Chains A and B, each alone.
Chain A
Amino acid sequence: MTKLLDVKDYKVYYQTLKGQIKAVDGVNFFVNTNEVFGIAGESGCGKSTLGNSLIYLRAPMRYAGGSAYIEEMNISKLTDEQMKKIRFEKISIIPQFAMDAMSPTKRIKQIVVDLVREHDEKLSDEDVKELAVKRFEMVGLSADVMNMYSIELSGGMKQRVVMVISTLLNPKLLIADEITSALDVSSQKFSVEMLEEFKDKQFVSSVIFITHDISVLYQISDRIMIMYAGLVAEIASTEDIVSKPLHPYTKLLIESLPKMGIQFSEKKLTGIPGYPPNLLNPPKGCRFYDRCPLRIDPQKCQNEIPPLVEYTPGRYIACWAYTKGNDKNG
């Protein structure tokens, strides 16, 4: 397996009048080729900031350190002009709420052509339209969609259109940010299946799937990264995350999910008490300390940030409970 994306100690801060919000504060992970890599966490954990910053790092976001390599290229150091060349072709995104962000005064075909024009000079308008129609038909939309306005489409149809547009130039890496969150269960399932098909057909090679819904990740991703307050809590195979979670945060998160077969009158589920810390001035120790039921070594937990270590092969975790006696990387 080769790494398509390799992110090391990557930091993205937001510049505000009150200071810097450390939204992504030193994350380490990699995405293999032909892999669906899921990122999950509560709102405000930095998952969307991370995804957006890899595509277009613009104010008020500010690059604050680390590296992000796609193949041999460090994209965190590219200028706007250089980034524009690889965006959409090498790395593409389906932004959150994209389906509601399509211009209501342009026909779909115009949106498609304009977008491709920005990034590719080789394809003619006719080629682009032909390609788009082919892809639309693949996802069950008729060619008529090209002549429609976005307001004429249903939510599920809009999401399909956005997915087709984002992957039109066959990007290596696709970042899908909360693409299922605003959809009905049947459209959710359809979107996920569509993504899988695009991967099978090699329209995209790898996908970073960002969502707050772990049960959707279970359906699609090979590995899952759990983020908490701008840091990585745990990275493991999907199976390990859902059936053998190690980090106390992951454990509580999985336990709090309502499942079919569990009713309030029979078994009460519990959420996670407390709230994530303010990232303007994060605590100096483990960021989950306040809410953690474990606190294996309270002194250490409160004062030192646990490093992300490889606990067992391929399984990464940032918790002092799993670093004891593990001399690898401290």
Chain B
Amino acid sequence: MDEPLLKVEKLTKIFRSGVVGGHFTTAVDDLSIDVNRAEIISLVGESGSGKTTVGKLILHLSKPSMGKIFYNGTDISTLKRKRLKEYYRNVQGIFQDPFASFNPIFKVDRVFDLLFESYLKDKVNKKHDLIVESLEKVGLNSLDVLGKYPHQMSGGQLQRILIARTLLLDTKLLIADELISMLDASTRVDVLNILGTLRDKEKMSVIFITHDLSLGYYISDKTMIMYMGNLVEVGKTKLVFDNPLHPYTRMLLSAVPEIGRKWKKSELEMKRGEVPIGGCPYFDRCTLAMDICKKKPILKELEKDHKVACYAAEGVKSDDSIPVGENHNS
């Protein structure tokens, strides 16, 4: 197996809030990821799970508190000026709100112009042809796009323009943070298909950050489930979805609205005390919580290509499981 394209090692990000800095929030907690070439990985989690922070750290928009990120073997925290610019040629991000990604007073052509001014100076003479070609690859006709203002386009078109832009750069890794959650159902799947085609044809890798599990299932090779800054389940998409092992993953899957399957009525969410310091992050919401869970479980490979951080999933049994409603502030 090749060296992974991107290697994230024990990444931790702690945010400090308050004027005198009394309050700390661990947004990302000791997280490791390998991203291979031509691979789509979905990073799934609820809001506040830290998934966006992971994307920002990889994009070097935020500095990790601990841990390292290697791109092609190079620690990205050591990159400065020229080499950082080169990094951004290889690693690009596209975010949720396409209308916020474009400057509304300029025509959309500007995103291409800027590119040719900074990265593609040597190709300026072929500029128009290259733009047309990259737009075609994302299913857009350049006549519908060039010379228009962002407000004249739909969200789906704008997102595709941004993808076309990464094609011009020959981007190797795309961080797609909720790329399609603002798009309509009828155009969503087209944008997803583009990602799939780029993986197969251009060998692009994508970290697809989403809270929508069905979209993750459709497009990704690997799935990582994130909860409170921790990876709780990681594996081949099929294995994670068809045989979810972590109680959190199961809860999420049961809550996915699906045509043809009605939701089962659930109990009101019962919080049982606090998460013990150094304990499993899902402790307070878990129906399987045991005493041993006060010590945080680590990811273990329970079947090939499928890792879970949960004692219950590992088969650890405990007679002193914690009764509902009781406070455990250890």
Contact = CB atoms under 8 A, between A and B. Distances in A.
Given A186-B46, A216-B257, A263-B238, 15 more contacts: A189-B255, A189-B257, A189-B266, A190-B269, A214-B185, A256-B185, A256-B186, A256-B188, A258-B188, A258-B215, A260-B258, A263-B219, A264-B192, A270-B190, A275-B154
A201 to B, nearest CB: 15
Interface of A: 42-43, 140, 154-155, 184-190, 192-193, 212-216, 218-219, 242-243, 252-254, 256-265, 268-272, 275
A43 B217 contact: no
Interface string B229-264: 000000001100100000000011101111110110
Contacts of B215: 258
Q: Which of B186, B215, B260 has the most CB of A within 10 A?
A: B186
Interface residues of B, number: 40
A214 B184 CA distance: 11
7 contacts: A215-B259, A218-B258, A242-B259, A258-B215, A264-B196, A268-B193, A271-B193
A36 to B, nearest CB: 13
B268 interface: yes
A213 B185 contact: yes
A269 B47 contact: no
Contacts of B189: 256-258, 269-271
A271 B269 contact: no
B193 A212 contact: no
A8 B280 CA distance: 57
Classify the interface of chain B: helix, strand, loop or mixed: helix
B265 A271 contact: no
Interface of B: 46-48, 154, 184-190, 192-193, 196, 211-215, 217-219, 237-238, 241, 251-253, 255-260, 262-263, 265-266, 268-269
Contacts of B218: 258, 262-264, 269
A264 B255 contact: no
Contacts of A43: 184
A275 B154 CA distance: 9
A78 B160 CA distance: 46
A259 B188 contact: no
A218 B185 CA distance: 15
B17 to A, nearest CB: 13
A259 B185 contact: no
Nearest to A214: B259
A271 B159 CA distance: 15
A42 to B, nearest CB: 4
A184 B46 contact: yes
B147 to A, nearest CB: 18
Contacts of A259: 214, 258-260
A193 B259 contact: no
- The 6 A-B pairs of least Cβ separation, nearest first, read A271-B190, A272-B186, A184-B46, A215-B257, A258-B218, A264-B196
Contacts of A184: 46-47, 211
